[in-house]
Amino acid sequence: MALRFPRFSQGLAQDPTTRRIWFGIATAHDFESHDDITEERLYQNIFASHFGQLAIIFLWTSGNLFHVAWQGNFETWVQDPLHVRPIAHAIWDPHFGQPAVEAFTRGGALGPVNIAYSGVYQWWYTIGLRTNEDLYTGALFLLFLSALSLIGGWLHLQPKWKPRVSWFKNAESRLNHHLSGLFGVSSLAWTGHLVHVAIPASRGEYVRWNNFLNVLPHPQGLGPLFTGQWNLYAQNPDSSSHLFGTSQGSGTAILTLLGGFHPQTQSLWLTDMAHHHLAIAILFLIAGHMYRTNFGIGHSIKDLLEAHIPPGGRLGRGHNGLYDTINNSIHFQLGLALASLGVITSLVAQHMYSLPAYAFIAQDFTTQAALYTHHQYIAGFIMTGAFAHGAIFFIRDYNPEQNEDNVLARMLDHKEAIISHLSWASLFLGFHTLGLYVHNDVMLAFGTPEKQILIEPIFAQWIQSAHGKTSYGFDVLLSSTSGPAFNAGRSIWLPGWLNAINENSNSLFLTIGPGDFLVHHAIALGLHTTTLILVKGALDARGSKLMPDKKDFGYSFPCDGPGRGGTCDISAWDAFYLAVFWMLNTIGWVTFYWHWKHITLWQGNVSQFNESSTYLMGWLRDYLWLNSSQLINGYNPFGMNSLSVWAWMFLFGHLVWATGFMFLISWRGYWQELIETLAWAHERTPLANLIRWKDKPVALSIVQARLVGLAHFSVGYIFTYAAFLIASTSGKFG
């Protein structure tokens, strides 16, 4: 018999129904469950797939560079970044009529194009790229790296080049390479690029391979480095009248601590960023050499974990047993990596707008909105993934004997206290926040807005003041003009910071009031509830009072049949599934808040946000309804405009989202009956009955239908908001 899909599971390959296809796809990446898998093959497969992942990333970024160089207007944009609209790529569409062709021919292009809202133009401009040739060179280089990655992946699957399990489990050497090699050396290399290419480009000097060795990045070369006079590298920075990309008003400094923003580009000083990356490089180069590798010096992580005895015995045996637990569990390691990456991605969303690193990106409002929303949603998915793999660790990899009375075991021992506290916090936040919003709604409805309950966020304002914001009049720390910190800041460190924080033209430490207080607590409710569901899913993954033997059923089981009532919906997978809905809702509130506050800030009518955000009808009417008007009338019998495609996507997003409920609010019996009826009709229809199926059509399983429903809900939700966000912002600001 010919091998059928899936080849990794002979049991599944012999399934006579369509379950074979869907379960095959669902378990394709669950290497642990495949036939004949060994620990060694498991590690080698994952290692090889990393090369494939890198190849895809390099190919994708190469494609970005290539299409902008081929069909974009980078060289025109560079001449006037504030007024030329950056083009992502051309559009060829046979459905376009003349009005559509005219509507989408923008940015000085000859035909219909897509405008770039990704910030790549600003990024490439900041790092020193100036011509289409530069972009093509970058695209070819990344294509080469992509090919190299594919070859690397193939090579490491050949018998001679397959790494052994001991190599994968050598934690100290891996830290050495990841901390020093990945973070340290790459940060140092990036500092080199900024100092040798980007900073000269910002001063009108074009450094490329042909003159790279002749142009000194600093007038004194390496002299100050070897003589210990490092402060010389910070002297004579660019002046506040510096025109970015020209020598007008430029200085010679390469590593500075100016603080604040370049007045013209509204982005961080390039010389500050070079300094930052150099500091990071040194930090990580040292960090990567603290652990004992082949040379017998430095720390052994296992010794560190076992030597640490918690004070007063309050944490039992502390970190004993953790080294082997983590080092032998891929899911634990992946959970840690995803948790870190998720937090970092959310921080990227925050810092890309509050401390913009790329020249002129702060004045490209649609790009700012798109990047914030994009990174927050990605962070949400990554963070929920961290808990999912944490739960799989408890089911597949956790060994109670190995972890007796250590911090991990004690987490499981007092899980009831953890879960009930999270539950209490969520209930408190939810009822109080909703109560305040609804009270304010009623007061508005009855014509007595002065009876609203409006709470000033005084603690947050105090923290902002401590960092130097003077408008609240707190007179504390950096906002106290007579304090030592304030005076030191004027000369020694970051003199530009205090100007930046009190400027109203940027997004740094925005002024906050009662509307912010309320939405902050609504977001806190969402965060705590999402966390509650995820933490409960992981801590109850091995078993609960209701179902003590839960771990024997695996990560995703629907129910244990009718005999044990109430075992539906309690698998660790179900917790992940429910948490994703809360995650999406929470990030919805986060992005609504960010977008509305910024729209009013950019338009100069901050009072609209301040007055309307204190009650729910204000959010529905003055944010959602008011800003979706362009979309609701996107195209009509009288013609169309450049927002029409977003209006269509807005509708399409709603359709995908609504389709999700078809899978979420029905169980498989309904579909099984429907399928059997359709199969009956098919077999009795002339011509159609010439086509037969090898696999008997059956309905999706409960868990699969939930996944399909969740995917449609998520994709539709994000598509709808993306269309709303981009259309409402670009419709106002171009």
For 694, counting Cβ atoms within 10 Å of its Cβ (0-12 exposed, 13-18 middle, 19+ buried), the class is exposed
d(CA 655, CA 236): 58
d(CA 76, CA 68): 12
Q: Retrieve residue 635's tokens.
A: 């195209």
Q: With beta carbons less than 8 A apart as the criterion, state whether 717 and 588 touch.
A: yes
d(CA 462, CA 512): 11
Q: With beta carbons less than 8 A apart as the criterion, state whether 433 and 527 touch.
A: no
d(CA 361, CA 367): 7
CA dihedral for 69, 75, 78, 81, sign (positive or negative): negative
Dihedrals phi, psi of 636, to nearest 5 degrees: -150, 180
Give the residue numbers of the binding site.
559, 568, 654, 662, 670-671
Place of tokens 């159609």: 688
Beta carbons within 8 Å of 513's beta carbon, 6+ residues apart: 454, 456, 457, 610
Q: With beta carbons less than 8 A apart as the criterion, state whether 586 and 381 touch.
A: no
> Which alpha helices (H) appear in 255-364, and where do they start and end?
270-287, 301-307, 322-327, 330-354
Q: Which helix (H) or strand (E) is 636 found in, with range?
A: strand 635-636
Q: With beta carbons less than 8 A apart as the criterion, state whether 635 and 647 touch.
A: yes
d(CA 221, CA 516): 50
d(CA 280, CA 194): 14
Q: Which helix (H) or strand (E) is 56 found in, with range?
A: helix 39-71
- Grouping H, G, I as helix, E, B as strand and the rest as coil, residue 534 is helix
Strand-strand pairing, 87-90 and 113-115: antiparallel
Q: Retrieve residue 732's tokens.
A: 């106002």
Side-chain half-sphere exposure of 662, counting CA atoms within 13 A: 9
Q: Which helix (H) or strand (E) is 387 found in, with range?
A: helix 365-392
Which residue from 599, 635, 609, 594 is spatially nearest to 732, judged by alpha carbons? 599
Place of tokens 């259309």: 727
Q: Which amino acid, 514?
A: P
Give the residue numbers of the binding site for chlorophyll a.
654, 662, 670
Q: Retrieve residue 634's tokens.
A: 């996107």
Which residue from 394, 423, 332 is spatially nearest to 572, judged by alpha carbons? 394
Give the residue numbers of the binding site for phylloquinone.
671
Q: Retrieve residue 566's tokens.
A: 């109430």
Which residue from 112, 100, 114 is spatially nearest to 67, judged by alpha carbons? 114
Q: Is the peptide bond before 6 cis (omega within 30 degrees of 0)?
A: yes
Q: With left for phi above 0 and alpha for psi between -120 and 50, is residue 559 left, alpha or beta?
A: beta
Q: Which helix (H) or strand (E) is 533 found in, with range?
A: helix 514-539
Place of tokens 């970058």: 138
Give the residue numbers of the binding site for [4Fe-4S] cluster.
559, 568
d(CA 351, CA 345): 10
Q: Retrieve residue 422's tokens.
A: 């999270």
Q: Which amino acid, 412?
A: L
Which residue from 590, 212, 161, 206 is spatially nearest to 369, judged by alpha carbons? 590
d(CA 78, CA 97): 32
Which residue from 332, 512, 524 is spatially nearest to 422, judged by alpha carbons? 524
DSSP state of 313: G
